[in-house]
Amino acid sequence: MLSDTLVIHEIYASIQGESTFAGMPCTFVRTVGCDLRCVWCDTPQAFHGGTRLTRGEVLERALSFGTPLVELTGGEPLLQPGVLPLMRELCDAGRTVLLETGGHRDVSGVDPRVHKIVDLKAPGSGEVERNRLENLRYLTLRDELKFVLADRADYDWMRGIIATHALAAFGMTLLASPAFGLLDPRALVEWVLQDKLPVRVNLQLHKYVWGADAEGV
């Protein structure tokens, strides 16, 4: 079956770099392949190649690091059908499971125990047309919506989306991340304070620890 194997770029332990889990030890399962091309993408090395492993092998390696937290990331994890049962199995094994997804793939089949970190692509990404806004109805308070912002126009777009979809009233965590090297975090903080916007300014922690070339999470 297609879901019995996965093509994997890397499985490794690090600290979680983006989201409300930032700073916590985490095992990352980075899948291969993405059907977007965000202009500021920091993991193009995960677009191609990789190693095909059975789902059992991926599960065993992911559990072997012993971290309570395991994140599926990419590339785009939801391109591979084996990711859905793998996340179920990781939850069954007692792990707290995070899914980092580009927001353009259907998240309705994701195990409800998984914490979904879903991007909404701002215009500066070059992929704003690919946003799947239907995903919003499948998000719960367990999940987080992430906006990576390259400039003031992206910030204004985010503000409009939050207002149009009443996202603040829903109470879900909204992450606003300056695209590394493109938007000064201080400018973002000033805009958020001026507007009293209920977002969590989110820095890519791994970049500050390992430098600008560190892979995204």
Closer to ligand SF4 at the Cβ: 36 or 183? 36
Interface with ligand SF4, residue 77, by CB under 6 A: no
**Which region among 1-9, 55-63, 72-80, 162-170 touches ligand SF4 (by CB under 6 A)?**
72-80
Show contacts with ligand SF4 in window 7-26 (CB under 6 A): none
CA-CA distances (angstroms) from residue 142 to 22, 173, 185? 15, 8, 26
Q: How far is the CB of 169 from ligand SF4 (least distance, A)?
A: 28
**What single-letter amino acid sits at 214?**
A
Interface with ligand SF4, residue 83, by CB under 6 A: no
CA angle 189, 190, 193 (to 5 degrees): 85
Q: How far is the CB of 105 from ligand SF4 (least distance, A)?
A: 10
Closer to ligand SF4 at the Cβ: 34 or 70? 34
- d(Cα 119, Cα 104) in Å, to the nearest integer? 8
Instruction: Count CB neighbours of 39 within 10 A.
Output: 11
- What mask, x for binding ligand SF4 by CB under 6 A, covers residues 27 to 66? -------x-xxx--x-x-----------------------
Q: Is 37 helix (H, G, I), strand (E, B) or coil?
A: coil
Q: How far is the CB of 201 from ligand SF4 (least distance, A)?
A: 19
Beta bridge partners of 100: 117
Show contacts with ligand SF4 in window 97-156 (CB under 6 A): 102
Closer to ligand SF4 at the Cβ: 49 or 56? 49
**Which region among 59-67, 68-76, 172-180, 197-205 touches ligand SF4 (by CB under 6 A)?**
68-76
Q: How far is the CB of 92 from ligand SF4 (least distance, A)?
A: 27
Q: How far is the CB of 108 from ligand SF4 (least distance, A)?
A: 19
What is the crossing angle of helices 152-164 and 185-195, to 10°?
40
What is the secondary structure of 61-122 as a DSSP string?
HHHHT--SEEEEESS-GGGSTTHHHHHHHHHHTT-EEEEEE-SSS--TTS-TTSEEEEE---
Residue 123: what are its φ and ψ, rounded to 5°? -55, -35
- Give the residues lining the site for ligand SF4 (CB under 6 A): 34, 36-38, 41, 43, 74-76, 102
